[in-house]
Amino acid sequence: MKPDISSILAQLGIAGFNPSYSTGSKWSHAADGPHIHSMSPVDGEKIASVFAASMKEYDHVITTAQEAYKYWSKVPAPKRGEIVRQLGDALRKQKTALGTLVSYEMGKSLQEGLGEVQEMIDICDFAVGLSRQLYGLTMHSERPNHRMYEQWHPLGVVGIISAFNFPVAVWSWNAALAWVCGNVCVWKPSEKTPITAIACQRIVEDVFAANDIPEGVSCLIIGDREIGELLSNDTRVPLISATGSTRMGKSVAMSVANRLGKSILELGGNNSIIISKDADLDMSLIGAVFGAVGTAGQRCTTTRRLIIHESVYETFKAKLVKAYGQLRIGNPLDQNNHVGPLIDKDAVRAYLAAIEKCKAEGGNFVVEGGVLEGDAYHSGCYVKPCIAEVENHYEIVQHETFAPILYLIKYTDLEEAIALQNGVPQGLSSAIMTLNLREAELFLSAQGSDCGIANVNIGTSGAEIGGAFGGEKETGGGRESGSDAWKAYMRRQTNTINYSDTLPLAQGIKFDL
């Protein structure tokens, strides 16, 4: 089944659009600029073509954003929140169209595409409340008739570099918070999924226009790695929020740190679920299979390793093999299917190379992988989710492969399992399946998981926006979305007010003239 993409693009107001950038009300492109073609991994068809922005266009976008910040930062935070509330309502109206486009352009299931738009709606709701809660602290001064407090101010222009696997949700996590905090945003989406980004920008544009918001508060710029490098090195952009591979994140981190800017990095994951001898195995099976094959293994929170107690290892392995035999792979817009395609043929090649490397290192595949062929799979991007028995120290196991390859590892006691869980360079998401309270609490303690996310009796995927999202080690240390992640988009200022008629110095220092 193929959606009526022409009708969807028309409904979203982007039929015939092929821009290289937007400043929120003005769309433009350089007619001689290089094309970027958006190809659907679902059927291999071209959705549309856009232009890559030039250096001149990039500079215009940043300059426009800087001017818009002068206006937007003066708008009261609750008023900014009201506009974000309207954006959430606009997304509700376009949820089906935008979710379908996400599914078709990226290749995730329709339910996941709709869920991604729901995440955008949820973060708008969160940001509305946050707009009235940008709290600072008050402190007691050691000097008489003095008052101390802290307040938070916006940073200015926030650069957002997003990845293909969540082409719209992660942008919204950043943009909604950045806007209510008083910042303006420049978004560079993945060159693999530019059409969904253009659709989001159009929705934002309509909401902002209805509120007489000037251009530059929400900017979109299309391009490849070069645009990301321009953002990362630009001193006019005090904060870069980047989502992608660890390799990309290290490059961004070095560029931003070199100019003493700020960065939020959401990078690779190598997530595991510990299956305890005291686990509910049927519930564990659901979490493990969805975590491993959801989005065809292309989530940063995908379950890549199962660390299984030796006493239930064979039983649980048999359950997994049976479950994998029941997976339906095909068009993700058909809700009868469990698994859709990888994003492109480069991803397929990386998947095949990982399988070969795993076998060369000694991995035993209990469910074989491979590329699917036939009319239903003519895009060449559909692969079989596979399972291999491995050792945690294998080089391929230490590496994040963005594909549905699940590794099985056996353990004897929980301390060993936690060491295996932590024994990879990445530190994003983790989980334990157990009905044993002591095991659960140890896993969540300082001696337990070293990840930014640690779950009990749920899988590694499916984070809610209420909690801060992010990880440690090579995952980058950034936090987005809920809790107090908003502070990353602001600068803290400590204020001391002297309302006396003298000027005493701190620490009792005397300086008499």
Report the domain count for the chain. Answer: 2
Residue 491: strand pairing partners = 153
For the domain that residue 452 is a member of, what is the CATH number? 3.40.309.10
Last residue of a domain, one of 443, 464, 485: 464
pLDDT at position 31:
61
> Within this chain, do residues 143 and 202 fall inside the same structural domain, yes or no?
yes
Of the candidates 18, 17, 20, the one whose C-alpha atom is nearest the C-alpha of residue 54 is 20
For 310-398, where are the E strands, in sequence order? 364-367, 386-389
CB 117 within 8 A of CB 172: no
Condensed to tens digits (0 to 9), the pLDDT of residues 28-40 reads 866 667 889 999 9
Kind and range of the H or E run holding 280:
none
Query: Would the pTM count as exceeding 0.85?
Result: yes
| pLDDT for 57 beyond 90 | yes
What Rg value do the Cα atoms of the chain yield, rounded? 24
Q: Is residue 471 part of a domain?
A: no
pLDDT at position 53:
93
Of the pLDDT bands very low, low, confident and very high (cuts 50, 70, 90), residue 493 is very high
Q: What CA–CA distance (Å, rounded) separates 419 from 333?
A: 40
Which residue has better confidence, 29 or 55? 55
Average pLDDT, the chain: 96
Residues 6+ apart with CB under 8 A from 79: none
For the domain that residue 186 is a member of, what is the CATH number? 3.40.605.10
Condensed to tens digits (0 to 9), the pLDDT of residues 220-255 reads 999 999 999 999 999 999 999 999 999 999 999 999
| pLDDT for 139 beyond 80 | yes
Q: What b-and-e string marks burial along 371-404, b requiring 16 or more CB atoms within 10 Å of the CB?
A: bbeeeebebbbbbbbbbbbbebebebbebbbbbb
Which letter does DSSP use for residue 133 in this model?
-
pLDDT at position 463:
86
| pLDDT for 64 beyond 70 | yes
Which letter does DSSP use for residue 488 in this model?
G
Q: What CA–CA distance (Å, rounded) separates 41 from 351?
A: 15
Q: What is the dihedral of CA 275, 279, 280, 282, to 10 degrees?
A: 20
3-state secondary structure of 312: coil
Of the pLDDT bands very low, low, confident and very high (cuts 50, 70, 90), residue 512 is confident
> Within this chain, do residues 383 and 309 fall inside the same structural domain, yes or no?
yes
> Within this chain, do residues 407 and 484 fall inside the same structural domain, yes or no?
no
Phi, psi of 328, deg, nearest 5: -105, 120
Query: Which residues are marked as active site?
Result: 266, 300
Of the candidates 414, 65, 354, 54, the one whose C-alpha atom is nearest the C-alpha of residue 213 is 65
Q: Is residue 38 part of a domain?
A: yes
Q: Is residue 235 part of a domain?
A: yes
pLDDT at position 379:
97
| pLDDT for 349 beyond 70 | yes
Residues 6+ apart with CB under 8 A from 20: 28, 29, 30, 33, 50, 51, 52, 53, 54, 57, 221, 222, 223
Condensed to tens digits (0 to 9), the pLDDT of residues 286-307 reads 999 999 999 999 999 999 999 9
CB atoms inside a 10 Å sphere around CB 467: 14
> Within this chain, do residues 220 and 336 fall inside the same structural domain, yes or no?
no
pLDDT at position 403:
98
pLDDT at position 32:
67
> Within this chain, do residues 390 and 422 fall inside the same structural domain, yes or no?
yes
3-state secondary structure of 186: strand
CB 478 within 8 A of CB 264: yes
> Within this chain, do residues 124 and 202 fall inside the same structural domain, yes or no?
yes
Q: Is residue 502 part of a domain?
A: no
For 43-97, where are the E strands, in sequence order? 46-51
> Within this chain, do residues 228 and 281 fall inside the same structural domain, yes or no?
no
Is the sign of the CA dihedral 379, 192, 272, 119 positive or negative?
A: negative
- The whole-number average pLDDT for the span 352-381 is 97
CB atoms inside a 10 Å sphere around CB 162: 27
- The whole-number average pLDDT for the span 304-320 is 98
> Within this chain, do residues 194 and 300 fall inside the same structural domain, yes or no?
no
Residues 6+ apart with CB under 8 A from 404: 292, 293, 296, 297, 302, 339, 351, 383, 384, 385, 386
> Within this chain, do residues 188 and 302 fall inside the same structural domain, yes or no?
no
> Within this chain, do residues 190 and 288 fall inside the same structural domain, yes or no?
no
Q: What residues make up the domain containing 60?
A: 5-267+476-493
- The first and second tokens of residue 136, run together, are 């600072």
> Within this chain, do residues 277 and 179 fall inside the same structural domain, yes or no?
no
pLDDT at position 513:
80
CB atoms inside a 10 Å sphere around CB 20: 27
> Within this chain, do residues 337 and 444 fall inside the same structural domain, yes or no?
yes
